[in-house]
Amino acid sequence: MAPLKWWQRAVFYQIYPRSFADANGDGIGDFPGMTAKLDYLRDLGVDALWLSPHYPSPFLDCGYDIADYCDVAPEYGTLWDFSRFLQKAHERGLRVILDLVLNHTSDQHAWFREARSSRASPWRDWYVWRDPAPDGGPPNNWASIFGGPAWTLDQATGQYYYHVFLPEQPDLNWRNPEVKAALWDAVRFWLDLGVDGFRLDAIATIFEHPDLPDHTLPVSPGAVLDANTLPWDDYWQLLRFQLHQPGMHELMKELRALVESYPGDRVLVGEDEDLAFHGSGDDELHLVFNFPLQRTRRITPAHVRANQALRLGALPPGAWPCNTLGNHDAPRVWSRYGDGAHDAALARLHLALLLTLKGTPFLYYGEELGMADLELSDLGQLRDTNAINRYRALTERRGVAPEAALREVLATTRDRCRGPMQWSEAPNAGFTAPEAVPWLPLHPNHRAGVSVAAQADDPGSLLSFYRRLLALRRATPALLAGEFEVLHPDSEDHLAFLRHDRDSGQTCLVVLNFSGAAQRPAFDLGGRAARLRFSSAERPAGRLDLQPLSLAPFEAVILDLL
């Protein structure tokens, strides 16, 4: 077997730049702040950093509305600050990948400003424009993923432009070769600076059906086709002409060839779950997120087994899996999968799962502390434009009482999982100056042990658990490269599997107890003995009896088979 690439061995750690560390006291994270925390990340034991968008942006979609692809948002610093961050990360053995938004720009981008200046503008065809329908309305009934129609009328020029997300995020026209050339130049700009790859945002949306056909669904005349008026399944069917259109895979192959023209095994990670984005296995994206793993209210052995059977069975030859349980668009792992009574034990169990499955794991900042979703209380605290628009739709179009609409929006906004990193128990959690106003509120639990300072020297803390398990994974060939084999396929309470690495000959048995009760599963492994390598419970070192193996509630055990 060929040696693993760095991105196959790595554990990635997602940083939300606005929320990680603020060096200048303005309440917003920045590159000098992130640079000052690189030793912490190295000591944590991660190998690579994924930065959410750091580009100039009006920040209507949390940075995913880019106004300049080749610069740094002034609130985060300068291009020199970025270059220093990248250099210092590399000096510590940390790779860095950037978020790249190919589908759309901000409406404040110079390209779109020029495009909307006149129908005759040379930039007009860089975006998707159409004349109104005969009744003066939008060209078709397509819906935006963020609610409402996918078309906005530009009053000055009398045409509609297309946007699959916010009206302030006009879609680029990728059928125009000038658009592709400009974006490939942006890719080269960052690769020339030395970045190690890109996480590609919303890649399935890049092309739309060229004929712009109407969606047909059984709705009443005049109904607005969006998530606020239709059942969820019907709403997603509305996107069938706007997602996964022909041309995507050819484009990804071209981008892969561009990236591979640079040395150092640069990596492409797709924000999509469709394994077709692996292409033949080595000609499109290197990694595609296993989102179905996290798409459940409760992680169970049956869910994981079914997920792994489907994902690993469908991978094309040569492709590599990629697993995650959290990111900037989902509730935090602590809040999403906790049960109130065993949150800490479940957090340990879920990390053990993520680091022992086959594939590259992605962690989200603050998970190592047990950071929870923010507790927001009023509309003025929201920064997520999609949530604010949702509130308006509920109150103005659906007649929901303001109090009920506010409760719903505060319970679902993506702001909840984007709170400032909790470094200490100091005012503002050490994220920013004590007198500053953070861009999002702090969770009050930073004063109750959920901080780096409170956990760093505590061997029983969640942070210490992360450090130990990350170090173990790095030092265990079977967990890095081993094949995955399920044992006890019908167990409802525990998940058991083998990871076997042919090159080293190492085989690890992983057993995860998802039950709050002790378990005693028995293993018949041809008489092989087992030696403890790791446990989330108190266990003496040495050999363990597998006939049966006694498991404490929510215990994670990793054994070497001898």
CA distance 70 to 55: 7
For residue 223, the model assigns a pLDDT of 46
Residues near 318 by Cβ (< 8 Å), separated by ≥ 6? 280, 281, 282
Q: What are phi and psi of 464, to 5 degrees?
A: -65, -35
Q: Where are the beta strands (DSSP E) in 439-544?
A: 483-487, 494-500, 507-513, 530-535, 543-544
Q: Where are the beta strands (DSSP E) in 387-489?
A: 483-487
Q: Three-state DSSP class for 153?
A: strand
CA distance 311 to 76: 38
For residue 2, the model assigns a pLDDT of 80
**Tens digits of residue pLDDT in 425-459:** 999 999 999 999 999 999 999 999 999 999 999 99
Residue of 195, 181, 199 lying closest to 254 (CA atoms): 181
CA angle 120, 169, 274 (to 5 degrees): 115
CA distance 361 to 473: 11
Residue of 494, 460, 496, 498 lying closest to 482 (CA atoms): 498
Which positions are annotated as active-site residues? 201, 271
Average pLDDT of the chain to the nearest whole number:
94
For residue 495, the model assigns a pLDDT of 98
CA distance 197 to 524: 44
Q: Supply the pTM of this predicted model.
A: 0.96
For residue 231, the model assigns a pLDDT of 60
Please list the rounded mean pLDDT of every run of 10 residues in the chain (562 residues): 92 98 98 98 98 98 97 98 98 98 98 98 98 95 87 98 97 98 98 98 97 74 49 68 95 98 97 97 97 96 98 96 97 95 96 98 98 95 92 85 93 96 97 98 97 98 98 98 98 98 96 97 91 93 91 97 94
For residue 222, the model assigns a pLDDT of 44
CA distance 124 to 514: 56
How many angstroms separate the Cα of 217 from the Cα of each of 229, 274, 511? Answer: 12, 25, 47
Residues near 201 by Cβ (< 8 Å), separated by ≥ 6? 64, 99, 100, 101, 102, 103, 271
CA distance 218 to 210: 24
